[in-house]
Structure 1
Amino acid sequence: MKKTWKKTAAVLTAAAAAFALCGCSGSGSADTANKGSESAGAEKSAEEPTVVEIGVVGEYNAQWDTVNELLAPENIQVKLVKFTDYAAPNRALSDGEIDLNAFQTKTYLETDMAQKGYDLTAIGDTIIAPLAIYNNKDKVSSIEDIKDGDTIAIPNDLTNGGRALKLLEQAGLIECDPEKGFVPTKADITKYNVQIEIMEAESATLANILPDCAAAIINGGNAYTAGLNPTTDSIFTEDVNPDTNTQVPELVNVIAARTEDKDNEVYKKIVEAYQSPEVEKTIEEAYQGAFLCAWEGAGEADAPESEGAESPETEAEAE
């Protein structure tokens, strides 16, 4: 940068001297200086990466560090934009405040678009974040300990709330109208096998209100952010085996774009980087089973060994 400045200054000085001596012929030299300055600016601009802002919810973002490492040769950089409210990332994407988001299941995306009129498209599968029933250890230690009058907290949005009710059904606590499919509401409960009280609350608050309940059904991302792991800390976990649960495809999280941008080549490279053996290895090592890779081909190949590289840590950069 200093060399460019000195070179430009020298050209301008020479031009000024020529103008002083000749009285009228400095314009050509000034044009040359301007062109040199413009060329230097263009060279600097060419070195700057293409930054893509992606909306996420929660603190499980180590995989994006690996994505950025893979995209570095392409001069593409992912910048995370963090939200705490599940309603915000789709609104921000629709309004053009961010470029992509990666926080929701296919069912959540479809329901949100139907309710709010967003024109968004899923452009790539990412993970499954199993929903689980987490117990207040001072009150219950298993599903069988839940008794009449106990309160269980669930997410208050339609998609995750319906998914939570289906989980309570899988656990044998309630029965729902089968015609309501994957997203029943409390009004669709046809039978209480245990007379529990179901309390609805914002997803991000469920871990905090767990001490006031017998149990809470918490999204995988929010659970991980609260220091909970569905494989070790829950008393009942969502069935994510496609052989025994036909609704597993609805549980897959996706990267979403505005429909008009679904064929953007940079976005395709981001999806390709995410759906790589390197990212799969990061997810397995960083989260110890809390999240499952769900894209086509995941689990079929081992990630290449990196020479002397440690598994990346979660970045605390603003999403």
Structure 2
Amino acid sequence: MKKLLLTAILASIVALLAACGGSDEAEEGLLEDGKLKVGVTAGPHEEILEKVSELAEEEGLEIEIVSFSDYVMPNVSLSEGELDLNSFQTEPFFDHMNEERDLGLIKVADTVTFPMGIYSEKITDLSELEDGAQIALPGDPTNSGRALLLFEQAGLIKLEEGLGVNATVNDIVENPNNYEFIELDSAQIPRQLGEVDIAAINSNFAMDSGLSPKDDSIFIEQDSTFVNLIAVREENKDDEALKQFIEIYQSDEVKTFVEESFSGSVVPGW
């Protein structure tokens, strides 16, 4: 009987110690290595995060910025634990990739909006487009659909109704001027702008290549609902460091920085 009682007491002590250890680990959370590792795409997202990092440092929060040149790896890296969070994408793109790849990520906050624009090195007005003109657009699913909605908004085509960002070039129901649509990697489109007649370019890549969405686009998205977001792994959604990061990002200081730095080409979306 004494032996059984002693065994039970020892088991209780082990369980208590394990629980205490687990609590310490949970408290460390995303700051287990002392800093937040945040993924962004190069350009405005990175510039904004540099401002956030500067403000965070004043509050004792260290941020390591990891910059990417594409839209796929920031989510893959986050899902695999190489990042603590990321800030670079619109919700339709996030939803599509998260579901398609079963990444286990969730949205936790809104950030900024980048209106998509139409650019050209050959014409200054869409009325100058000739029959059969070549039109470049992003090749990834949601940005492709977004670009097609932009072309429809500009009066170039008509799409099958009700598809929204899920539209593809196969869903064009009216193309009276026989435009040729060429899907390219989003980041490469600015470099290939001279090889087509017009192109839809995401503002972060446009600005990264020296183009101003406000001044250089010949048509720009109207009343965009494509707000960018902050994403994390689901298990970290209540992390205290994450809450601190969001509070800093959505502060008046960052809002002023965005408005003064990008002159309407990037708009606070929170």
With normalisation by structure 2, the TM-score equals 0.85
The 8 Å contact of residues 120 and 197 in structure 2, kept in 1 or not, is answered as yes
Gaps spanning 5+ residues in structure 1: where?
Answer: 1-47, 241-247, 296-319
Cα deviation for residue 62 of structure 1 reads: 2.7
**Distance between the aligned counterparts of 1:86 and 1:210, measured in 2?**
20
The equivalent of 1:169 in structure 2 is 152
Q: How does 1:65-144 map to 2 (within 5 A)?
A: 65-136=50-121, 139-144=122-127
Residue from 227, 250, 263 that aligns with 1:288: 263
SS at match of 1:182: helix
Deviations 1:97-125 (A, max 9, x none): 11111010011110111211111111110
Q: Counterpart of 1:201?
A: 184
SS in 2 for 1:263: coil
The letter for the 2-side match of 1:258 is R
Matches within 5 A, 1:266-285: 266-285=241-260
Aligned to 2:35, the other structure's residue is in SS state strand
Give the letter for the 2:261 counterpart: A
SS at match of 2:115: coil
**Which structure is higher in helix share?**
2
Partner AA of 2:97 in structure 1: D
Rounded to whole Å, the distance in 2 between the matches of 1:174 and 1:206 is 20
1:133-189 deviations in Å (ceiling 9; x for gaps): 0012xx211111112111110000000000000000001111001131232001111
Which of residues 33, 49, 53 is equivalent to 2:37?
53
CA–CA separation in structure 1 for the residues paired with 2:67 and 2:51: 18
- Which deviates further from its counterpart, 126-135 or 186-195? 186-195
Tell me the CA shift for residue 71 of structure 1: 1.8
Q: SS at the partner of 1:227?
A: coil
> How far apart, CA to CA, are the structure 2 residues paired with 1:122 and 1:173?
34
Paired with 2:234 and 2:199, the residues of 1 have a C-alpha distance of 35
**Percent identity between the aligned chains?**
38
Q: 2: CA distance between counterparts of 1:289 and 1:270?
A: 24
Q: CA separation in 1, counterparts of 2:245 and 2:177?
A: 47
Distance in 1 of aligned mates of 2:256 and 2:147: 29
Separation in 2, partners of 1:158, 1:227: 25
Whole-Å separation in 2 of the counterparts to 1:209 and 1:69 = 35
Residue 80 of structure 1, CA deviation: 1.0
**Matches of 2:112 and 2:98 in 1, distance apart?**
21
| Equivalent position of 2:47 in the other structure | 62
The one-letter code matched in structure 2 to 1:134 is Y
- How many Å separate the matches in 2 of 1:49 and 1:99? 11
Aligned residues of 2:186 and 2:202 also touching (Cα < 8 A): yes
| TM-score, scaled relative to structure 1 | 0.72
Q: Which runs of 5+ in 2 are unaligned?
A: 1-31
Provide the C-alpha distance between the structure 2 equivalents of 1:168 and 1:81, rounded to a whole number of angstroms.
33
Where 2:170 maps in the other structure, the secondary structure is helix
Larger gyration radius, structure 1 or structure 2: 1
Question: Take 2:50 and 2:153, find their aligned partners in 1: how far apart are those partners?
Answer: 36
CA shift, 1:74, in A, is 3.1
Aligned residues: 238
The answer to whether the 8 A contact 1:172-1:193 is kept is no
Matched to 1:263, the amino acid is: D
